[in-house]
A and B are shown apart, each in its own frame.
Chain A
Amino acid sequence: MTPLLQVDGLTVVPRAAPGRCLVSDVSFTLQPGKTTCVVGESGSGKSLTALAVMGLLSRQLQRTRGSIRFQGQGLTTLDAEAMRRIRGRSIGMIFQEPMTSLNPVLTIGHQIGEPLSVHLGLRGRALQARIAGLLQQVGIPPERANSYPDELSGGQRQRVMIAMSIACEPAMLIADEPTTALDVTVQAQILRLLDELKTRMNMGMLFITHDFGVVADIADDVVVMFRGEVVEYGSVDQVLNRPQHPYTKALLACVPDADGKKPLLPIDYAWLEQQPATTAANLQHSMSEPA
Protein backbone atom coordinates (compact mmCIF):
# COMPACT_ATOMS: atom_id res chain seq x y z
CA MET A 1 0.00 0.00 0.00
CA THR A 2 1.39 3.42 -0.84
CA PRO A 3 1.56 5.57 2.24
CA LEU A 4 -0.57 8.69 2.36
CA LEU A 5 2.41 10.82 3.23
CA GLN A 6 6.06 9.99 2.91
CA VAL A 7 8.63 12.45 4.18
CA ASP A 8 12.19 11.54 3.34
CA GLY A 9 15.33 13.30 4.51
CA LEU A 10 13.62 16.65 5.05
CA THR A 11 16.09 19.39 5.95
CA VAL A 12 15.23 23.01 6.67
CA VAL A 13 17.76 25.79 7.24
CA PRO A 14 17.53 29.57 7.69
CA ARG A 15 18.49 31.38 4.48
CA ALA A 16 20.76 33.67 6.47
CA ALA A 17 22.66 30.80 8.11
CA PRO A 18 22.56 27.74 5.83
CA GLY A 19 24.99 25.88 8.08
CA ARG A 20 22.45 25.58 10.85
CA CYS A 21 19.88 22.80 10.50
CA LEU A 22 16.53 23.61 12.11
CA VAL A 23 15.08 20.39 10.74
CA SER A 24 17.69 17.82 9.87
CA ASP A 25 17.14 14.70 7.79
CA VAL A 26 13.60 14.00 9.04
CA SER A 27 11.84 10.94 7.60
CA PHE A 28 8.55 9.29 8.45
CA THR A 29 5.41 7.94 6.80
CA LEU A 30 1.71 8.20 7.47
CA GLN A 31 -0.91 5.64 6.42
CA PRO A 32 -4.53 6.52 5.64
CA GLY A 33 -6.79 6.24 8.68
CA LYS A 34 -3.82 6.35 11.05
CA THR A 35 -2.40 8.98 13.36
CA THR A 36 1.27 9.83 13.56
CA CYS A 37 2.23 12.03 16.50
CA VAL A 38 5.27 14.27 16.40
CA VAL A 39 6.49 15.05 19.92
CA GLY A 40 9.31 17.18 21.20
CA GLU A 41 10.13 20.26 23.23
CA SER A 42 9.69 23.77 21.90
CA GLY A 43 12.33 24.48 19.31
CA SER A 44 12.68 20.83 18.33
CA GLY A 45 11.41 21.54 14.82
CA LYS A 46 8.04 19.82 14.99
CA SER A 47 6.00 22.78 13.76
CA LEU A 48 8.55 23.53 11.04
CA THR A 49 8.22 19.96 9.80
CA ALA A 50 4.46 20.42 9.50
CA LEU A 51 4.82 23.77 7.75
CA ALA A 52 7.34 22.30 5.33
CA VAL A 53 4.88 19.54 4.41
CA MET A 54 2.24 22.17 3.70
CA GLY A 55 4.74 24.28 1.78
CA LEU A 56 4.14 27.14 4.17
CA LEU A 57 7.66 27.85 5.36
CA SER A 58 8.38 31.54 5.83
CA ARG A 59 10.66 33.32 3.35
CA GLN A 60 13.54 33.33 5.78
CA LEU A 61 13.62 29.56 5.75
CA GLN A 62 14.61 27.15 3.04
CA ARG A 63 14.09 23.45 2.46
CA THR A 64 17.48 22.34 1.22
CA ARG A 65 17.02 18.60 0.96
CA GLY A 66 14.43 15.92 1.21
CA SER A 67 11.30 14.81 -0.59
CA ILE A 68 7.69 15.01 0.49
CA ARG A 69 5.32 12.64 -1.29
CA PHE A 70 1.59 12.91 -0.70
CA GLN A 71 -0.62 10.21 -2.25
CA GLY A 72 2.35 9.25 -4.40
CA GLN A 73 2.78 12.78 -5.74
CA GLY A 74 5.89 14.82 -4.99
CA LEU A 75 4.88 18.06 -3.28
CA THR A 76 8.25 19.75 -3.44
CA THR A 77 8.21 20.17 -7.22
CA LEU A 78 4.73 21.69 -7.42
CA ASP A 79 4.30 25.39 -8.17
CA ALA A 80 2.39 27.73 -5.89
CA GLU A 81 -0.84 27.39 -7.90
CA ALA A 82 -0.87 23.58 -7.76
CA MET A 83 0.05 23.61 -4.08
CA ARG A 84 -2.83 25.97 -3.37
CA ARG A 85 -5.23 23.46 -4.93
CA ILE A 86 -4.03 20.78 -2.53
CA ARG A 87 -3.98 22.89 0.60
CA GLY A 88 -7.40 23.00 2.19
CA ARG A 89 -8.68 20.47 -0.38
CA SER A 90 -6.72 17.28 0.23
CA ILE A 91 -4.63 18.44 3.17
CA GLY A 92 -6.35 20.28 6.00
CA MET A 93 -4.50 22.06 8.73
CA ILE A 94 -5.47 23.08 12.25
CA PHE A 95 -3.21 25.71 13.71
CA GLN A 96 -2.14 26.00 17.29
CA GLU A 97 -3.87 29.16 18.40
CA PRO A 98 -7.57 29.44 17.66
CA MET A 99 -7.53 32.99 18.98
CA THR A 100 -5.12 34.30 16.38
CA SER A 101 -5.76 32.00 13.43
CA LEU A 102 -9.33 33.13 12.79
CA ASN A 103 -10.13 36.42 11.08
CA PRO A 104 -11.86 38.60 13.68
CA VAL A 105 -13.86 40.67 11.17
CA LEU A 106 -15.49 37.77 9.31
CA THR A 107 -18.27 35.55 10.63
CA ILE A 108 -17.34 31.96 11.36
CA GLY A 109 -19.83 30.81 8.73
CA HIS A 110 -17.99 32.85 6.13
CA GLN A 111 -14.65 31.43 7.17
CA ILE A 112 -15.86 27.84 7.14
CA GLY A 113 -17.49 28.44 3.75
CA GLU A 114 -14.36 29.81 2.12
CA PRO A 115 -12.64 26.49 1.32
CA LEU A 116 -15.99 25.10 0.14
CA SER A 117 -16.57 27.88 -2.39
CA VAL A 118 -12.92 28.04 -3.47
CA HIS A 119 -12.28 24.32 -3.91
CA LEU A 120 -15.71 22.83 -4.49
CA GLY A 121 -17.44 25.82 -6.06
CA LEU A 122 -20.40 25.64 -3.71
CA ARG A 123 -22.70 28.67 -3.70
CA GLY A 124 -25.86 29.94 -2.09
CA ARG A 125 -28.15 27.52 -0.37
CA ALA A 126 -25.98 24.45 -0.93
CA LEU A 127 -23.10 26.28 0.70
CA GLN A 128 -25.20 27.37 3.68
CA ALA A 129 -26.45 23.83 4.17
CA ARG A 130 -22.91 22.46 4.12
CA ILE A 131 -21.74 25.05 6.65
CA ALA A 132 -24.63 24.19 8.95
CA GLY A 133 -23.80 20.51 8.61
CA LEU A 134 -20.15 21.09 9.46
CA LEU A 135 -20.99 23.17 12.51
CA GLN A 136 -23.30 20.44 13.70
CA GLN A 137 -20.58 17.87 13.17
CA VAL A 138 -18.20 19.71 15.48
CA GLY A 139 -20.90 20.35 18.06
CA ILE A 140 -21.71 24.03 17.51
CA PRO A 141 -25.38 25.01 16.99
CA PRO A 142 -25.75 25.88 13.25
CA GLU A 143 -27.43 29.19 14.17
CA ARG A 144 -24.04 30.38 15.35
CA ALA A 145 -22.79 30.64 11.74
CA ASN A 146 -23.32 34.41 11.88
CA SER A 147 -21.26 34.82 15.05
CA TYR A 148 -17.85 36.44 15.04
CA PRO A 149 -14.85 34.64 16.57
CA ASP A 150 -14.81 36.90 19.64
CA GLU A 151 -18.32 35.76 20.51
CA LEU A 152 -17.12 32.19 20.96
CA SER A 153 -15.17 30.47 23.74
CA GLY A 154 -11.69 29.07 23.17
CA GLY A 155 -12.99 25.54 22.76
CA GLN A 156 -15.66 26.65 20.30
CA ARG A 157 -13.09 28.55 18.24
CA GLN A 158 -10.95 25.46 18.02
CA ARG A 159 -14.03 23.57 16.84
CA VAL A 160 -14.52 26.20 14.15
CA MET A 161 -10.89 25.64 13.09
CA ILE A 162 -11.61 21.92 12.87
CA ALA A 163 -14.77 22.52 10.85
CA MET A 164 -12.75 24.67 8.42
CA SER A 165 -10.00 22.13 8.07
CA ILE A 166 -12.31 19.17 7.40
CA ALA A 167 -14.76 21.14 5.23
CA CYS A 168 -13.50 19.58 1.98
CA GLU A 169 -13.03 16.16 3.55
CA PRO A 170 -9.26 16.13 3.16
CA ALA A 171 -7.34 12.87 2.93
CA MET A 172 -4.90 14.15 5.50
CA LEU A 173 -5.19 16.48 8.44
CA ILE A 174 -2.23 18.25 10.02
CA ALA A 175 -2.98 19.38 13.56
CA ASP A 176 -0.39 21.55 15.27
CA GLU A 177 -1.00 21.39 19.02
CA PRO A 178 -4.76 21.78 18.50
CA THR A 179 -5.64 21.28 22.15
CA THR A 180 -2.74 22.89 23.98
CA ALA A 181 -4.59 26.10 24.80
CA LEU A 182 -7.74 24.31 25.98
CA ASP A 183 -9.12 23.01 29.27
CA VAL A 184 -8.79 19.29 29.92
CA THR A 185 -12.47 18.51 29.56
CA VAL A 186 -12.66 20.43 26.29
CA GLN A 187 -9.42 18.80 25.18
CA ALA A 188 -10.93 15.39 25.78
CA GLN A 189 -13.97 16.35 23.67
CA ILE A 190 -11.86 17.67 20.80
CA LEU A 191 -9.64 14.58 20.79
CA ARG A 192 -12.70 12.36 20.71
CA LEU A 193 -14.15 14.43 17.87
CA LEU A 194 -10.94 14.21 15.81
CA ASP A 195 -10.72 10.49 16.39
CA GLU A 196 -14.31 10.02 15.25
CA LEU A 197 -13.79 12.12 12.11
CA LYS A 198 -10.59 10.27 11.34
CA THR A 199 -12.34 6.92 11.47
CA ARG A 200 -15.40 8.05 9.54
CA MET A 201 -13.48 9.73 6.73
CA ASN A 202 -10.50 7.36 6.79
CA MET A 203 -8.33 10.39 7.17
CA GLY A 204 -4.63 10.27 7.99
CA MET A 205 -3.66 12.59 10.81
CA LEU A 206 -0.30 14.19 11.51
CA PHE A 207 -0.64 15.38 15.08
CA ILE A 208 1.92 17.64 16.69
CA THR A 209 1.98 17.78 20.47
CA HIS A 210 4.27 17.94 23.45
CA ASP A 211 1.89 16.07 25.72
CA PHE A 212 2.64 12.38 26.14
CA GLY A 213 -0.79 11.85 27.66
CA VAL A 214 -2.36 12.95 24.39
CA VAL A 215 0.05 10.74 22.47
CA ALA A 216 -0.98 7.72 24.52
CA ASP A 217 -4.63 8.46 23.76
CA ILE A 218 -4.57 8.99 20.02
CA ALA A 219 -1.34 7.92 18.32
CA ASP A 220 -0.65 4.90 16.15
CA ASP A 221 2.94 5.90 15.43
CA VAL A 222 5.19 8.35 17.22
CA VAL A 223 8.07 10.49 15.97
CA VAL A 224 10.22 11.95 18.75
CA MET A 225 12.17 15.03 17.72
CA PHE A 226 15.08 16.67 19.50
CA ARG A 227 16.76 19.81 18.21
CA GLY A 228 15.73 19.27 14.64
CA GLU A 229 16.44 15.56 14.43
CA VAL A 230 14.29 12.48 14.75
CA VAL A 231 15.72 10.56 17.66
CA GLU A 232 13.11 7.83 17.76
CA TYR A 233 10.34 6.63 15.48
CA GLY A 234 8.08 3.68 16.10
CA SER A 235 4.65 2.46 17.14
CA VAL A 236 3.03 4.11 20.14
CA ASP A 237 3.45 1.00 22.26
CA GLN A 238 7.10 0.71 21.37
CA VAL A 239 7.98 4.36 21.98
CA LEU A 240 6.00 4.84 25.21
CA ASN A 241 6.57 1.47 26.81
CA ARG A 242 9.92 0.37 25.43
CA PRO A 243 11.76 3.57 24.48
CA GLN A 244 15.17 2.90 22.95
CA HIS A 245 16.71 6.33 22.74
CA PRO A 246 18.02 7.92 25.96
CA TYR A 247 16.32 11.23 25.10
CA THR A 248 12.91 9.57 24.82
CA LYS A 249 13.54 7.86 28.15
CA ALA A 250 14.60 11.13 29.78
CA LEU A 251 11.61 13.01 28.37
CA LEU A 252 9.16 10.31 29.47
CA ALA A 253 10.71 10.27 32.93
CA CYS A 254 9.94 13.93 33.57
CA VAL A 255 6.26 13.74 32.62
CA PRO A 256 4.19 13.83 35.82
CA ASP A 257 1.67 10.97 36.03
CA ALA A 258 -1.90 11.37 37.23
CA ASP A 259 -1.49 8.80 40.00
CA GLY A 260 1.48 10.51 41.60
CA LYS A 261 3.33 7.21 41.89
CA LYS A 262 6.27 8.15 39.74
CA PRO A 263 8.93 10.35 41.32
CA LEU A 264 9.35 13.64 39.49
CA LEU A 265 12.70 13.82 37.70
CA PRO A 266 14.45 16.74 36.04
CA ILE A 267 15.45 16.05 32.46
CA ASP A 268 18.76 14.31 32.14
CA TYR A 269 21.10 15.26 29.30
CA ALA A 270 23.96 13.01 30.43
CA TRP A 271 23.40 10.79 27.39
CA LEU A 272 24.47 13.63 25.10
CA GLU A 273 28.07 13.11 26.19
CA GLN A 274 28.09 9.76 24.45
CA GLN A 275 26.70 11.07 21.18
CA PRO A 276 28.75 11.41 17.99
CA ALA A 277 30.52 14.72 17.50
CA THR A 278 28.11 16.10 14.91
CA THR A 279 25.12 15.98 17.23
CA ALA A 280 27.13 17.53 20.03
CA ALA A 281 28.27 20.36 17.77
CA ASN A 282 24.73 21.00 16.61
CA LEU A 283 23.64 20.99 20.23
CA GLN A 284 26.29 23.46 21.33
CA HIS A 285 24.99 25.74 18.67
CA SER A 286 21.38 25.61 19.73
CA MET A 287 22.26 25.85 23.41
CA SER A 288 23.94 29.22 22.88
CA GLU A 289 20.78 30.64 21.34
CA PRO A 290 18.32 32.03 23.87
CA ALA A 291 15.19 29.96 23.43
Chain B
Amino acid sequence: MMTSPILTARKLVKTYTQRSGKFGLGSHSFRALDEVSISLSAGSTLAVVGESGSGKSTLARCLLQLLPLDSGEVLFEGRNLATLSSAALRQERRNLQMVFQDPFASLNPRMKIGEIVAEGLLIHGMGNADERRERVLQMLKRVGLQEADMQKYPHQFSGGQRQRIGIARALVLQPKVVVCDEPVSALDVSIQAQILLLLKDLQQEMALSYVFISHDLRVVRHIADEVVVMHQGKVVEQGAVEAIYAAPQQAYTQNLLNSIPGRRAVAA
Protein backbone atom coordinates (compact mmCIF):
# COMPACT_ATOMS: atom_id res chain seq x y z
CA MET B 1 0.00 0.00 0.00
CA MET B 2 1.09 3.53 -0.74
CA THR B 3 1.91 5.53 2.32
CA SER B 4 2.37 9.19 1.38
CA PRO B 5 -0.53 11.18 2.78
CA ILE B 6 -2.55 13.09 0.19
CA LEU B 7 -4.87 14.79 2.65
CA THR B 8 -3.95 15.59 6.23
CA ALA B 9 -6.04 17.30 8.87
CA ARG B 10 -4.37 18.67 11.97
CA LYS B 11 -6.20 19.50 15.18
CA LEU B 12 -9.45 20.57 13.58
CA VAL B 13 -11.80 22.43 15.90
CA LYS B 14 -15.32 23.40 14.98
CA THR B 15 -17.77 24.88 17.47
CA TYR B 16 -21.48 25.25 16.91
CA THR B 17 -23.47 27.77 18.90
CA GLN B 18 -27.02 26.87 19.78
CA ARG B 19 -29.63 29.27 20.92
CA SER B 20 -31.35 28.15 24.07
CA GLY B 21 -33.39 29.35 26.98
CA LYS B 22 -36.46 31.59 26.85
CA PHE B 23 -37.09 33.01 23.38
CA GLY B 24 -33.68 31.69 22.37
CA LEU B 25 -31.97 34.57 24.11
CA GLY B 26 -29.38 32.45 25.81
CA SER B 27 -26.86 30.43 23.92
CA HIS B 28 -24.52 27.57 24.52
CA SER B 29 -21.86 26.19 22.29
CA PHE B 30 -20.50 22.71 21.84
CA ARG B 31 -17.54 21.34 20.00
CA ALA B 32 -18.56 19.28 17.01
CA LEU B 33 -14.90 18.69 16.25
CA ASP B 34 -12.44 18.66 19.12
CA GLU B 35 -8.84 18.60 17.91
CA VAL B 36 -9.45 16.02 15.23
CA SER B 37 -6.40 14.89 13.29
CA ILE B 38 -6.56 12.41 10.44
CA SER B 39 -4.39 11.48 7.53
CA LEU B 40 -5.45 9.89 4.24
CA SER B 41 -2.87 7.90 2.27
CA ALA B 42 -2.94 8.27 -1.50
CA GLY B 43 -4.96 5.54 -3.18
CA SER B 44 -6.50 4.23 0.02
CA THR B 45 -9.82 4.45 1.82
CA LEU B 46 -10.13 6.01 5.23
CA ALA B 47 -13.44 5.31 6.92
CA VAL B 48 -14.82 7.61 9.60
CA VAL B 49 -17.32 5.81 11.81
CA GLY B 50 -19.40 7.00 14.70
CA GLU B 51 -22.95 7.45 15.86
CA SER B 52 -25.17 10.35 14.91
CA GLY B 53 -23.89 13.49 16.54
CA SER B 54 -20.31 12.26 16.68
CA GLY B 55 -19.17 14.94 14.24
CA LYS B 56 -18.40 12.76 11.23
CA SER B 57 -20.43 14.78 8.73
CA THR B 58 -19.02 18.01 10.15
CA LEU B 59 -15.57 16.55 9.58
CA ALA B 60 -16.44 15.74 5.96
CA ARG B 61 -17.60 19.28 5.32
CA CYS B 62 -14.63 20.85 7.10
CA LEU B 63 -12.17 18.76 5.12
CA LEU B 64 -13.56 20.22 1.90
CA GLN B 65 -13.73 23.73 3.38
CA LEU B 66 -17.49 23.72 2.92
CA LEU B 67 -17.70 24.86 6.54
CA PRO B 68 -15.26 27.33 8.09
CA LEU B 69 -13.00 25.91 10.78
CA ASP B 70 -12.38 27.57 14.14
CA SER B 71 -8.81 26.36 14.17
CA GLY B 72 -6.62 23.67 12.75
CA GLU B 73 -5.45 23.11 9.21
CA VAL B 74 -6.25 20.88 6.28
CA LEU B 75 -3.33 20.08 4.00
CA PHE B 76 -4.01 18.77 0.52
CA GLU B 77 -0.82 17.68 -1.22
CA GLY B 78 1.08 19.83 1.24
CA ARG B 79 -0.92 23.04 0.69
CA ASN B 80 -3.04 24.49 3.46
CA LEU B 81 -6.53 24.87 2.05
CA ALA B 82 -7.58 27.48 4.59
CA THR B 83 -4.95 29.98 3.44
CA LEU B 84 -5.82 29.73 -0.24
CA SER B 85 -7.67 32.60 -1.90
CA SER B 86 -11.20 31.79 -2.92
CA ALA B 87 -10.18 31.54 -6.58
CA ALA B 88 -7.32 29.19 -5.76
CA LEU B 89 -9.58 27.15 -3.50
CA ARG B 90 -12.08 26.79 -6.32
CA GLN B 91 -9.26 25.46 -8.48
CA GLU B 92 -8.36 22.90 -5.84
CA ARG B 93 -11.98 21.81 -5.46
CA ARG B 94 -11.64 20.11 -8.81
CA ASN B 95 -9.48 17.59 -7.01
CA LEU B 96 -11.70 17.34 -3.95
CA GLN B 97 -15.18 16.05 -4.62
CA MET B 98 -18.04 14.78 -2.55
CA VAL B 99 -20.71 12.09 -2.89
CA PHE B 100 -23.73 12.84 -0.73
CA GLN B 101 -25.88 10.63 1.44
CA ASP B 102 -29.37 11.25 0.18
CA PRO B 103 -29.70 10.44 -3.52
CA PHE B 104 -33.16 12.00 -3.47
CA ALA B 105 -32.19 15.38 -2.10
CA SER B 106 -28.77 15.93 -3.65
CA LEU B 107 -29.79 16.18 -7.31
CA ASN B 108 -31.57 19.27 -8.63
CA PRO B 109 -35.01 18.04 -9.73
CA ARG B 110 -35.20 20.62 -12.51
CA MET B 111 -31.96 19.73 -14.22
CA LYS B 112 -31.41 16.92 -16.69
CA ILE B 113 -28.85 14.29 -15.79
CA GLY B 114 -26.55 15.46 -18.59
CA GLU B 115 -26.59 18.98 -17.16
CA ILE B 116 -26.07 17.84 -13.57
CA VAL B 117 -23.00 15.80 -14.43
CA ALA B 118 -21.61 18.45 -16.82
CA GLU B 119 -21.96 21.34 -14.37
CA GLY B 120 -18.60 20.79 -12.70
CA LEU B 121 -16.85 20.72 -16.08
CA LEU B 122 -18.59 23.95 -16.99
CA ILE B 123 -17.62 25.67 -13.75
CA HIS B 124 -14.01 24.66 -14.13
CA GLY B 125 -14.02 25.67 -17.80
CA MET B 126 -12.93 22.28 -19.00
CA GLY B 127 -13.25 21.58 -22.72
CA ASN B 128 -15.76 22.86 -25.23
CA ALA B 129 -19.39 21.76 -25.40
CA ASP B 130 -18.66 18.65 -27.48
CA GLU B 131 -15.77 17.52 -25.30
CA ARG B 132 -17.84 18.03 -22.18
CA ARG B 133 -20.68 16.01 -23.63
CA GLU B 134 -18.30 13.23 -24.51
CA ARG B 135 -16.75 13.14 -21.03
CA VAL B 136 -20.16 13.16 -19.36
CA LEU B 137 -21.27 10.33 -21.60
CA GLN B 138 -18.18 8.25 -20.87
CA MET B 139 -18.61 8.80 -17.15
CA LEU B 140 -22.30 7.90 -17.17
CA LYS B 141 -21.56 4.74 -19.12
CA ARG B 142 -18.82 3.88 -16.67
CA VAL B 143 -21.21 4.04 -13.72
CA GLY B 144 -23.73 1.88 -15.56
CA LEU B 145 -26.10 4.39 -17.14
CA GLN B 146 -26.91 4.97 -20.81
CA GLU B 147 -26.74 7.77 -23.33
CA ALA B 148 -30.52 8.24 -23.31
CA ASP B 149 -30.37 8.90 -19.55
CA MET B 150 -28.68 12.27 -20.20
CA GLN B 151 -32.03 13.70 -21.25
CA LYS B 152 -33.91 12.42 -18.19
CA TYR B 153 -34.69 14.11 -14.90
CA PRO B 154 -33.70 12.77 -11.45
CA HIS B 155 -37.23 11.62 -10.55
CA GLN B 156 -37.11 9.12 -13.38
CA PHE B 157 -34.43 7.10 -11.60
CA SER B 158 -34.40 4.70 -8.66
CA GLY B 159 -32.35 5.38 -5.52
CA GLY B 160 -29.44 3.22 -6.67
CA GLN B 161 -29.36 4.87 -10.09
CA ARG B 162 -29.44 8.32 -8.52
CA GLN B 163 -26.47 7.42 -6.37
CA ARG B 164 -24.68 6.38 -9.56
CA ILE B 165 -25.45 9.82 -10.99
CA GLY B 166 -24.04 11.43 -7.83
CA ILE B 167 -20.88 9.37 -8.25
CA ALA B 168 -20.60 10.31 -11.93
CA ARG B 169 -20.98 13.99 -11.02
CA ALA B 170 -18.14 13.76 -8.50
CA LEU B 171 -15.81 11.72 -10.67
CA VAL B 172 -16.24 13.42 -14.06
CA LEU B 173 -13.72 16.05 -12.90
CA GLN B 174 -11.15 13.32 -12.28
CA PRO B 175 -10.57 14.35 -8.68
CA LYS B 176 -7.88 12.94 -6.44
CA VAL B 177 -9.83 12.81 -3.18
CA VAL B 178 -13.51 11.93 -2.89
CA VAL B 179 -15.39 12.36 0.38
CA CYS B 180 -18.33 9.95 0.47
CA ASP B 181 -20.83 10.89 3.17
CA GLU B 182 -22.89 7.76 3.88
CA PRO B 183 -23.15 6.93 0.16
CA VAL B 184 -25.03 3.66 0.62
CA SER B 185 -27.01 4.10 3.81
CA ALA B 186 -30.21 5.06 1.97
CA LEU B 187 -30.03 2.05 -0.35
CA ASP B 188 -31.35 -1.50 -0.20
CA VAL B 189 -28.79 -4.10 0.75
CA SER B 190 -28.96 -5.61 -2.74
CA ILE B 191 -28.14 -2.24 -4.34
CA GLN B 192 -25.60 -1.38 -1.62
CA ALA B 193 -23.19 -4.09 -2.73
CA GLN B 194 -23.36 -2.93 -6.35
CA ILE B 195 -22.51 0.66 -5.42
CA LEU B 196 -19.69 -0.41 -3.08
CA LEU B 197 -18.17 -2.56 -5.81
CA LEU B 198 -18.48 0.31 -8.28
CA LEU B 199 -16.69 2.64 -5.86
CA LYS B 200 -13.93 0.08 -5.37
CA ASP B 201 -13.45 -0.46 -9.12
CA LEU B 202 -13.36 3.27 -9.79
CA GLN B 203 -10.81 3.72 -7.04
CA GLN B 204 -8.50 1.28 -8.83
CA GLU B 205 -9.05 2.76 -12.27
CA MET B 206 -8.75 6.42 -11.36
CA ALA B 207 -6.29 6.16 -8.45
CA LEU B 208 -8.76 7.78 -6.09
CA SER B 209 -8.43 8.28 -2.36
CA TYR B 210 -11.65 8.03 -0.39
CA VAL B 211 -12.77 9.46 2.91
CA PHE B 212 -15.73 7.22 3.63
CA ILE B 213 -18.16 8.44 6.26
CA SER B 214 -20.44 5.70 7.54
CA HIS B 215 -22.28 4.40 10.54
CA ASP B 216 -22.55 0.90 9.10
CA LEU B 217 -19.67 -1.07 10.49
CA ARG B 218 -20.27 -4.03 8.21
CA VAL B 219 -19.91 -1.84 5.12
CA VAL B 220 -16.80 -0.18 6.54
CA ARG B 221 -15.16 -3.54 7.13
CA HIS B 222 -15.44 -4.24 3.42
CA ILE B 223 -14.43 -0.94 1.91
CA ALA B 224 -11.89 0.66 4.24
CA ASP B 225 -8.15 0.31 4.66
CA GLU B 226 -7.99 2.52 7.74
CA VAL B 227 -10.65 3.44 10.26
CA VAL B 228 -11.17 6.47 12.48
CA VAL B 229 -13.70 6.02 15.27
CA MET B 230 -15.32 9.24 16.43
CA HIS B 231 -17.36 9.92 19.53
CA GLN B 232 -18.67 13.31 20.63
CA GLY B 233 -16.36 15.24 18.35
CA LYS B 234 -13.20 13.42 19.36
CA VAL B 235 -11.21 10.69 17.68
CA VAL B 236 -11.44 7.71 20.00
CA GLU B 237 -9.34 5.28 18.07
CA GLN B 238 -7.73 4.96 14.66
CA GLY B 239 -5.76 2.38 12.78
CA ALA B 240 -5.84 -0.35 10.15
CA VAL B 241 -9.29 -1.84 9.68
CA GLU B 242 -8.24 -5.46 10.41
CA ALA B 243 -6.47 -4.46 13.61
CA ILE B 244 -9.34 -2.41 14.99
CA TYR B 245 -12.01 -4.98 14.18
CA ALA B 246 -9.93 -7.82 15.55
CA ALA B 247 -8.73 -6.09 18.72
CA PRO B 248 -10.41 -2.79 19.55
CA GLN B 249 -8.49 -1.03 22.30
CA GLN B 250 -11.08 1.45 23.54
CA ALA B 251 -14.24 0.50 25.42
CA TYR B 252 -16.31 2.70 23.11
CA THR B 253 -15.08 0.90 20.00
CA GLN B 254 -15.70 -2.47 21.62
CA ASN B 255 -19.26 -1.47 22.45
CA LEU B 256 -19.81 -0.24 18.91
CA LEU B 257 -18.52 -3.45 17.37
CA ASN B 258 -20.53 -5.59 19.76
CA SER B 259 -23.69 -3.78 18.70
CA ILE B 260 -23.44 -4.95 15.09
CA PRO B 261 -26.59 -6.99 14.58
CA GLY B 262 -26.09 -10.64 13.72
CA ARG B 263 -22.78 -10.94 15.53
CA ARG B 264 -24.29 -13.01 18.30
CA ALA B 265 -25.56 -15.58 15.85
CA VAL B 266 -22.26 -15.70 14.00
CA ALA B 267 -20.31 -16.16 17.20
CA ALA B 268 -22.64 -18.88 18.47
Contacts and interface: CB of A to CB of B under 8 A. Distances in A.
Contact of A217 (B156, B217, B222, B264): B264
Interface string B175-196: 0000000000000111111101
B265 interface: yes
Given A256-B222, A258-B218, A290-B155, A213 B52 contact: no
A188 B261 contact: yes
Interface string A186-228: 1110010000000000000000001111111100000000000
A185 B51 contact: yes
B1 to A, nearest CB: 16
B94 to A, nearest CB: 30
A75 interface: no
B215 A184 contact: yes
B195 to A, nearest CB: 9
A99 interface: no
Interface residues of A, number: 34
A41 B261 contact: no
Interface string B31-57: 000000000000000000001100000
B211 interface: no
Nearest to A266: B194
Contact of A256 (B52, B218, B257, B263): B218
Contact of A258 (B156, B197, B221): B221
B155 A216 contact: no
A1 to B, nearest CB: 27
A255 B245 CA distance: 18
Contacts of A250: 190
Contact of B245 (A191, A212, A260, A264): A260
B256 interface: yes
Contacts of B196: 256, 264
Given A183-B52, A216-B266, A188 B259 contact: yes
Given A258-B266, A290-B157, A267 B261 contact: no
Contact of B261 (A214, A259, A260, A291): A214
B245 A257 contact: no
Contacts of A255: 189, 193, 218
A272 interface: no
Contacts of A280: none
A173 B190 CA distance: 28
A185 B222 contact: no
Contacts of B260: 184, 213, 258
Interface in A97-147: none
B217 A258 contact: yes
Contact of B221 (A191, A256, A290): A256
A86 interface: no
Q: Interface majority SS on B: helix, strand, loop or mixed?
A: helix
Nearest to B152: A290
Nearest to A268: B190
B255 interface: yes
Contacts of A251: 189-190
B190 A41 contact: yes
B51 A183 contact: yes
A255 to B, nearest CB: 6
Contacts of A184: 51, 215, 217, 256, 259-261
A248 B196 CA distance: 20
Nearest to B246: A259
Contacts of A154: 52
Given A183-B215, A185-B255, A257-B218, A290 B156 contact: yes
Interface string A24-45: 0000000000000000011000
A56 interface: no
B221 A291 contact: no
B193 A267 contact: yes
Given A183-B51, A267-B194, A260 B189 contact: no
Q: Which 4 A-B pairs have the closest CB atoms?
A: A213-B262, A213-B261, A216-B265, A267-B190
Interface of B: 51-52, 155-159, 188-194, 196-197, 215-219, 221-222, 241-242, 245, 255-266
8 contacts: A211-B262, A214-B262, A217-B261, A217-B265, A258-B221, A258-B245, A265-B193, A267-B191
